[in-house]
Every structure is written in structure tokens, then in C-alpha cells.
Amino acid sequence: MRSVRARLTAWYVGAVTLFLAVFIALDYASLRKNLMQRADEMPAEAIAEALSHGLWEHVLMSLGLILIISIVGYVAIGRALRPVQRIVAQTRSITAEDLSQRIAETGLRDEIGMLVDTLNEMIARLQQSFEQVRRFSGDVSHELNTPLTVLKGELEVALRKERTPEEYRELLARLQGEVERLSRMVDDLLLLARLDEQPALPEMSAVPLDRVLLEAHEELYRLAADKGVALDLGQSDEVQVRGDAVLLRRMIVNLVHNGIKFTPAGGRVDLTLKRENDRAVLRVSDSGAGIPEDALPHVFERLFRADPARAEREGGAGLGLSIVKQVADLHGCEVALESRPGEGTAVTVGWPGEALGVGERR
């Protein structure tokens, strides 16, 4: 396979050859015309000899020019492509194990400089993605290992000696809690993996958002009551949105469950759904401990927990809000979070007008 340098040189020489061929043809035709006009003054043999001499003179001159142009073009194109060869060599030295390297900039704002900038931006994105994958893999391993370690420890202690039926019931209850926690975590991870492979919703239907919110309230009302948290469903306008009903229900349940989980006994979680002009706005607010300001930019990251110790006690793995954000993005929604330590947290999900269903329900 010929190199780019050879192909460019061939194109360059071919274009010059074509130009010279046209020039020779026109010049030869002009010479022949002039000689024919002097046919009465010159014998035919002299005219033929002059035409032959002129033709060979042009051909030899053209061959010499083509040879010189080929050499000059090959050298010049090689010098022009030298930065590309350097970029190729530097790019080959960058591996997945070390994405901290960057291609040296040329200092020029030409096509080569733009190529270097684009490649460096791509490498930076890859580095960020690889770091996120490594960190996520490590966090997942840790999160899955914790309940498994608890299960193993509880079973080892239980097998050391005979236990009473009551002790076995207490042990099974603790093991059931860890298994449920592990199962929820695996379900969340599988859902996130499925959402990662789904850049857009394959099918969208009209979803009665107010009914979904009511179902989430009824599902989690007992959980809130058992914890001593008031779960209040305030204004709930009739709103239809286009989307996936299962995913939207999961998003709302996660928001409400998160509010209950991090609100102490005696607190409250308020739910509202309002139709504001051409938008629909869902708001879930609580009177919990709130989130530190420095943690707010990271709350939607996977496995991030502003207070790991408290999340561990509550059984949280830091995946709920990640699912909320990803489902919202799939539906074209905007998610906003406001929180102050000691005052609580409020999460708002807004649907744009184009995402609303056609008409209201009867």
C-alpha cells in the first residue's frame, strides 16, 4: 500500500504533467500554424524537420521539468507531513495504562494544529472515562463485598455453636436485610448498565404522571410512617408526559425513598406536581440533614455518598440519584437540586413543553 506522501506526490506530478501536455499541444499547434503560413517560403522537408525538432524539444524539456518537480514535490510533501509522522509516533506510545501523555502542540493554527488539539481533547475524555470506570469498578467491588462479608461473618458465628430458635430467627432476619440490600444494589447496577446501552427511548407512550406520583406515595407511605416521617402529597395537577412509565415510576420512587431515608424521625417529605405554563414540574423536598455545599456537584455521580457512614447505616449505595439523573436525561428533563446542611434538600424535575402528552385526561 502506497503512503500518503507517495499518493500526494503522484497527484501533484500528474496535475503538472497534464498541464504541460496541454501547454505542449497548444504550443505545437501554434508552431505548426506559423510554419504552414510560411509554406511558400520553406520546403516541406524543412517544415517537417522544424516541427519534429520543436516537438522533441518540448518533450525533453517537459520530462526534465517533471523529474525536477517530482523530486521537489516528494521532498516538500515529506517535510509537510513530518508533523503527522510525529503525531502518529506519539499517539502509538499512548496506551490505556497511561493516558496522561499528550501530543506536543505544533504552535500553529493550521489543519495539523487543529488535529493535535482534537486528538488531545479525545485523549483527555478517554482518560476521564477510564478513571471513572476504574473508580466505579473499585467502588462496586467494595459495595458488593461489604454485605457479602457481613453474610459470611454472621454465618460463621452462627455455625460455631448451637443456637436457640429465637437466635436463629434474629440471624435470618439480619441475613435477609443484607440479601435485600445486595439485591437492590445488583438491580440498580443492571438498570444503569441497561440505560448506558440505551441512548434513546425505543418507545414512548403517554404516561399520567400524577397517577405515578400517587402510586409512589402509596407505596412508600408505610415506610415513612414506620420511620416516623410524614410523607405529604400536596398539589398534584393532572399531567401527561411522553416516556417510559416503568422508568418514570422508578425515578419518582427513588426520589421519594431518598428523601425518607435521609430524613430523621419527626421530619417530613413533601411531594408536589404542578403544571406551570407549558412545563410540568415535580418537586420532592425533605427536612433532613441536607448536603454539604462541596458535595453538591457530585450527588448524581454513581456510588457517591456525601456521608458514607450515614449511608451505610441507612443501607444506601449511592446509586439512586444516578438513576434519577439518567432517566431524566432520557426523557429530556432538567434536574435541579437545592440543599443546605441542617435545612433539608429539594429535588426538582422539569419536563419541557415538547415532552408533555397531547391533551389532558378526561
Would residue 146 count as lying in a domain? Answer: yes
Return d(Cα 304, Cα 322) in angstroms, integer: 9
Separation CA 279–CA 354 (nearest Å) = 9
Q: 282: which 3 cell numbers?
A: 415535580
Cα 214 to Cα 30, 111, 119, 182, 360, distances in angstroms: 94, 58, 50, 28, 17
Residue whose C-alpha cell reads 502506497 in the numeric block: 2
Q: Which of 196, 222, 240 is the last residue of a domain?
A: 196
**Same domain, residue pair 312 and 284:** yes
Which pLDDT value is given to residue 52?
Answer: 77
For residue 273, the enclosing domain spans 205-355
Task: Average pLDDT across each block of 10 residues of the chain; the chain has 362 residues. List them in order.
Answer: 72 81 79 72 72 77 82 80 79 76 75 83 82 68 72 82 83 81 78 72 81 91 91 90 88 90 90 87 90 81 59 58 86 88 89 65 40
* Residue ending a domain, choose from 92, 119, 138: 92
Query: Within this chain, do residues 162 and 240 fall inside the same structural domain, yes or no?
Result: no
Q: What angle do CA 357, 300, 314 make, to 5 degrees?
A: 105
Q: Is residue 122 part of a domain?
A: no
Give me the pLDDT at residue 202, please.
Answer: 65
pLDDT at 309: 45
pLDDT at 358: 46
Burial 313-335 (b: 16+ CB within 10 A, else e): eeebbbbbbbbbbbbbebbebeb
CA neighbours closer than 13 Å in the CB half-sphere of residue 192 = 20
Question: Is 70 found in the same domain as 150?
Answer: no
Q: Taking Cα atoms as reference points, which of 194, 196, 187, 191 lies closest to residue 132?
A: 196
Is 305 contained in some domain? Answer: yes
**Contact call for residues 68 and 17 (beta carbons, < 8 A):** no
- What is the pLDDT, as a whole number, of residue 138? 64
Q: How large is the C-alpha radius of gyration of the chain?
A: 37
pLDDT digits (tens, 9 = 90+) for 174-202: 888 778 778 777 777 777 777 777 666 66
Kindly state the DSSP code that residue 355 receives in the 8-state scheme: G
158 shares its domain with 230: no
287 and 160 fall within a common domain? no
Helices marked H in 93-237 = 111-158, 165-196, 209-227
> Could you tell me the three cell numbers for 344?
433539608
Inter-CA distances, 160 with 36, 163, 168, 263, Å: 121, 9, 13, 39
Q: For residue 299, what is the DSSP state?
A: T
- Pairing outcome for strands 240-243 and 268-276: unpaired
Q: Report the chain's mean pLDDT, rounded to a whole number.
A: 80
Retrieve residue 206's grid coordinates.
403517554
Statement to judge: residues 225 and 137 lie in one domain: no
Selection from 317, 312, 293 nearest residue 188 by Cα? 317
Residues 245 and 192 in one domain: no
